[in-house]
Amino acid sequence: MESAGEKARSSMEQESAYGDNEGNFDMATTDAASTQKARCPIEAEVGATFDEWAGDRSVYWNAERDAWIVTGYAEAARILEESDAFWRDIPQREGSSEFWGRHLLILEGRDHRRMHSLHMQLTGEAFSENIREKSHKICRDVILPLVKQGRAELVTDYTDVVVFLIGCDFVGYDIDASTMEKLLLQMQIRATWKEALHSGNGIPLESKIAQDGQAALKTMASILLPIIRDRREHPRDDLISALWRKGPSVFPDWNELDVLNTCWSSLDNETKPLLRGLLYTLCRDLELQAKLRRDPSLVAGFVEEGLRFLTPFRTIRRTVKKDVEIGGQKMRSGDSIYLITPLANRDEGRWKCPYEFDAERQQESTHFAFGFGPGYCVGRYVGRVEATEAVKTILAETSLFSLDPNGTEPRWHGEMYHSVTPVHAILRG
């Protein structure tokens, strides 16, 4: 069976014209080649990162993982939709309650439906459009000093920072710059625990990563809870105040920890790994970068294709709740499932040339970058706005940005949240 990486490579070998990393393009091609769309240079390397998950069937048992691996689109859609037969395994993981509290990701049934509905009421499509202008301003404030200095590590200096700052702004965490820097550092420690908690079989609560993560949560709570308490008595036009108003409709005993835990995902979410991959892609594909700079209206489509192709939330875990047959395989209650979303998002019956990255692709099918069904990510509208504005802003404030040849080589990593780091870049104003 040909792997995803091999499919991308064999497809790319049919092309003859590529741009180098200095922005030079060989235009001396044949008439046939000149009519072909230039291929994105990240296709083969991204495809290779999930070759390990490809099997000879769309549903198969992996003894090493002690779990079912699901790569087919139709099978993945069914599992995500049928919450009575399949649901998240997060609540079963050691440390999940300490990490998440009474959060949407560990709720089930009526409580989950109510919390999901609350999120969509408060942070849906209209809300996301309302934060667009401020998101652009935040991105511009962050990128301008980086352009002035001429070099930056785009992950720690830009992508992760703007997602965090945009979240703090709409949540309502109005804190000074030094406190914000301290909070961002603690958030990075929490993120390390988050990845370890959700990967493989998880991580013991007594481990150093989990202990450091718990200490980080306590430090952040000491900073943020006074703001949350104050907003209960002195509401503003922000998410904290809205959660105080609406939260009791979910839980009558709604409290300050519920507000705190609900807001975590606004500061640390899938937009970070998505943006890392998008900017790395543009560092590698300078022709595409120039095209988006000339026509910013194409950026939203570029982000959407990035969601489908990169799929930073690469493994969705589920537990089988009752005996069921799917994809010709009999699953038993209690079995574990890995949904491999980037492979499902390469269904050849739903996308033309799905192993190609096409920034102008018309997305005629629903991809699973944000999940699907009852567990559909409540931050999908906010995430799209954040990513689009971050990309538009760096394009607008630079004439070109490319990988720094003297920087550490970028590496793709992460099981649940998949991204590329570091991305050392040269920025030209």
Give residue-wise pLDDT tens across range 146-201. Answer: 999 999 999 999 999 999 999 999 999 999 999 999 999 999 999 999 999 998 88
Stretch among 22-36, 145-159, 240-254 having the lowest mean pLDDT: 22-36
**Count of domains forming the chain:** 1
Name the nearest CA neighbour of 277 among 360, 146, 155, 401.
155
pLDDT at 9: 52
Instruction: Tell me what percent of the residues of the chain surpass a pLDDT of 70.
Output: 91
E strand or H helix that includes residue 150? none
Indicate whether 6 belongs to any domain: no
Would 13 be classed as within a structural domain? no
- pLDDT, tens digit, 9 for 90 and up, residues 309-322: 999 999 999 999 99
Q: Does 261 score more than 50 pLDDT?
A: yes
What is the average pLDDT score of the chain? 91
* Coil, helix or strand at residue 256: helix
Mean pLDDT of 226-251: 97
Q: Which residues pair with 376 in a beta bridge?
A: none
Tell me the whole-structure pTM to 2 decimals.
0.91
Range of the domain at 299: 38-428
Residue 14's Cβ-count burial label (10 Å; 0-12, 13-18, 19+) is exposed
- Judge whether residue 21 has pLDDT over 70: no
Determine, yes or no, domain membership for 31: no
What is the per-residue pLDDT for 31? 37
CATH number for the domain that contains residue 321? 1.10.630.10
Q: Residue 42's pLDDT is what?
A: 95
Q: Are 154 and 278 in contact (CB under 8 A)?
A: no
> Within a domain: residue 149?
yes
Q: How confident is the model at residue 416 (pLDDT cuts 50, 70, 90)?
A: confident
256 pLDDT higher than 70: yes
Structural domain contains residue 221:
yes
What three-state secondary structure class fits 165? helix
d(CA 258, CA 102): 6
Domain membership of residue 373 (yes or no) is yes
pLDDT of 27 over the 80 cut: no
Residue 24 lies in a domain: no
Within-domain flag for 171: yes
The two structure tokens encoding residue 240: 């904290």
